[in-house]
Amino acid sequence: MILDDFLQYNPNGLYCKYGNFYLDPQQPVATAMISHAHADHAVSGNNEVYCTDATSEFMKLRYGKNAAKAFNIGGYDKPFTIGGVQVTFIPAGHMLGSAQVLMEYQGTRYLYTGDYKIQPDATCEPIEWVKTDVLITESTFANPNIIHPDPIAEIKKLNDIKSNILLGAYSLGKSQRLIRLINDHAPQKTILAHHSIMPINMAYQRMGINLGKYQLYSRKLMKNQQEYIYIVPPFTFDSYYRAVGVKRLFASGWKNLQVNQNDTLFISDHADWNDILQTIEKTEPKEVWTLHGDGTPLRKYFGDRIFVKLLNYDADRRS
């Protein structure tokens, strides 16, 4: 039997009372299940954290001693129990170490996707499919008008830009994916990395991920037009709004983050409309609960065929 109150929002975030833990809490809590290490899902200061090994490493790199009082490392596809709930981490394909959280309670399976993507990515574990009774899916791009283009085709567009490029990207996950894609599909480019990205790159390499060639940014190098691509985090990218001698691009699935009308780089690490439909097809849920976006288009699409619950509706009204 599906329990309507298996997951509920409270001021700390998404709470499972049957296991007495939170999923990606927004405030520090006693017990947190962390799907991946991006800051909007992994806050510091939790007492006890359950996550994958890579997620713990990134949290320690970002937060130091404040990352958590204790980490409990779960391997993929290896069940463990919290309270009366059996939990299994399933690869999510979003970034290195990202996990879907499969929760089984009284014979019913609830699958929390966290952030996920289906597109191939050489810098993280590919998504895995499991059957579930309830799919709790992010709905960031749950809109039939949003279909992500092929990331390889997007990267190959850089080959036509002969000037130096200032490329904005999130430091953790996106930057490493871009470095690998550029090395594979625009190999004549020379990649320069912002100093804040370098420790993350090194962590990836320690965990066995080959990013290919890149080097630390040097202002002296960028004074020459030699098809450099300088990858910078958002705050640095915004500060260079008057930069001359470079083409400014921002790698994102969001249209409003594209900064040039003629040159865009639509590369997202989230599922688009077709991906979400494929996920529902593969996981075969009886119900779909949506969060991190607007699930209304999914409710309209499925009608009476699948019950769609907008899990974050009340939470969004409070915020």
Q: The domain 151-257 belongs to what CATH superfamily?
A: Metallo-hydrolase/oxidoreductase (3.40.50.10710)
CA trace torsion 59, 61, 63, 67 (10° rounding):
40
Question: Buried b vs exposed e over 35-64: b needs ≥16 C-beta within 10 Å?
Answer: bbbbeebbbeebebbbbbebbbbbbbebbe
Rg (CA), the chain: 20
Q: pLDDT, tens digit, for every residue of 102-121?
A: 999 999 999 999 999 999 99
Lowest-confidence pick of 24-28, 93-97, 236-240, 242-246 = 242-246
Q: pLDDT, tens digit, for every residue of 242-258?
A: 778 899 999 999 999 99
Measured CA distances, 305 to 17, 110, 134, 287 (Å) = 29, 19, 14, 10
Q: What CATH class has 8-144+270-318?
A: alpha beta
- pLDDT score recorded for residue 313: 53
Report the share of the chain in percent with pLDDT over 90: 89
Length of the chain counted residue by residue: 319
pLDDT at 317 over 50: no
- pLDDT score recorded for residue 319: 27
Q: Tokens in use for 243?
A: 């930069």
Contacts of 75 (CB under 8 A, 6+ apart): 52, 53, 89
The amino acid present at 93, given as its one-letter code, is G
- pLDDT score recorded for residue 316: 38
Determine the Cα angle at 122 with ends 189 and 110, to 5°. Answer: 145
CA trace torsion 218, 222, 223, 224 (10° rounding):
120
When the pLDDT of each residue in the chain is averaged and rounded to a whole number, the result is 95
What does the longest C-alpha to C-alpha distance in the chain come to?
A: 65
Instruction: Find, among 199, 266, 168, the residue nearest to 64 by Cα.
Output: 199
Q: Tokens in use for 174?
A: 């996106």
Measured CA distances, 308 to 19, 116, 190, 287 (Å) = 24, 19, 47, 6
Q: What ranges do the domains of the chain cover?
A: 8-144+270-318, 151-257
Rounded-to-integer distance, Cα 75 and Cα 166, Å: 37
| Band (31; pLDDT cuts 50, 70, 90) | very high
Compute how many other C-beta atoms are within 10 angstroms of the C-beta atom of residue 125: 19
Rounded-to-integer distance, Cα 168 and Cα 33, Å: 30
pLDDT at 1 over 90: yes
The amino acid present at 228, given as its one-letter code, is Y
